[in-house]
Amino acid sequence: MSKDIVLSIHDLKKHYQVQRTVVRALDGVDLEINKGECVGIVGESGSGKTTLAKLILGVESPTSGELIFSGSTLMPKRAKALRKKIQVVQQNPMLTLNPKRTIMQTISLPIRIHGSSNRRQTRDEVAKLLDTVGLAPEIMDRYPSSLSGGQRQRAALARALAAEPEVIILDEPTSALDVSVQARILFLLRELQQRFSLTFIFITHDLSVVRNMASRLAVMYRGKIIEAGETRRIFAAPMHHYTTMLLSSVPVVSEEEQLIKPKWTWTRSLFEGEERHSNGCAFAPRCPKETVECWEQIPENRSVGEQHSVGCYHPNLR
């Protein structure tokens, strides 16, 4: 895997004013993503995963912080040549595929914007893209409503590939699919990544999926990355207590997997501690290991191993 950094995120913040309350959707995110890798972004609902995706795509502007793509600062308003380099595949392909447009019309749009305007040549390009994602060219004149869920997601992938991107954000790309279709889409994603040297940012709540897809993992909680490192290392020995709680909930199919899964013997309620505010670590109201220090000062992410960092005063050091 290349160690060339394609995307650098520095102290990224996004705050929303909701009446008299400031909602800190992102509250100081730092992350570096290397060319050609798949980085998983995980965390429960409301942790800031989708907000991070929106800022990377330029859909919204950050409150503060910096995004650097291939050495250039990413601004919300971007030139056409830069916009094509970062694409997205969403959870529900019907949000990507206009139900009133044929597959041909949808996939050909980025081709016409960023490349060919010749009708015959464009149709040939769409046919090639459909073949690349395992769809017959004949479906290009059909509407999304006539396709299965798996076919729609493949068409959404073809649309993203049409712009010839360097980075694709995968926002829960398989959660709306059944298990057998999900497996085929994940296999296709691996093939496409290798074939086109793509960089994936894989946003999901499905830890069993990200375990098999991502080489590195960033765990988010309340707008911050509280642990980051190689996926296999985090699954084998999570350092942050929140990460331990998450991984202990992953369903397994064998007794062997159950034995090596992290154990969490405390309350797992999503609302535990919601009524208590911490000026320090946001997880302190729910953490079984919290101390006075955790409540008073925000812990900085520190290195706990090779390419492994954690934001915790009392990590699970083994």
50-79: pLDDT as tens digits: 999 999 999 999 999 999 999 889 988 888
pLDDT (0 to 100) of residue 227 = 97
Please tell me the distance from the alpha carbon of residue 143 to that of residue 104, in angstroms, as a whole number.
Answer: 9
Are 299 and 280 within 8 A, CB to CB? yes
Amino acid at 90: Q
Count of C-beta atoms within a 10 Å radius of residue 55: 25
Distance of CA 287 to the CA centre of its chain: 25
Are 301 and 309 within 8 A, CB to CB? yes
- Band (92; pLDDT cuts 50, 70, 90): confident
Which structure tokens are listed for 313?
A: 């005063």
Q: Tens digit of pLDDT for each residue in 262-284?
A: 777 776 655 555 557 889 999 99
> Residue with structure tokens 């709306």?
176
Please tell me the distance from the alpha carbon of residue 92 to that of residue 95, in angstroms, as a whole number.
Answer: 6
- The CATH architecture one would assign to domain 5-85+165-310 is 3-Layer(aba) Sandwich (3.40)
Please tell me the distance from the alpha carbon of residue 222 to that of residue 36, in angstroms, as a whole number.
Answer: 28
Whether the pLDDT of residue 117 is over 90: the answer is no
For the chain, the average pLDDT equals: 89
The CA radius of gyration of the chain, in Å to the nearest whole number, is 21
- The continuous run of DSSP H or E covering 104 comes out as helix 103-114
Which structure tokens are listed for 145?
A: 């409503």
pLDDT (0 to 100) of residue 277 = 80
Whether the pLDDT of residue 253 is over 70: the answer is no
Please tell me the distance from the alpha carbon of residue 246 to that of residue 152, in angstroms, as a whole number.
Answer: 30
Domain residue limits, the chain: 5-85+165-310
Question: How would you classify the pairing of strands 64-69 and 5-18?
Answer: antiparallel
pLDDT (0 to 100) of residue 94 = 76
Which structure tokens are listed for 94?
A: 């019907």
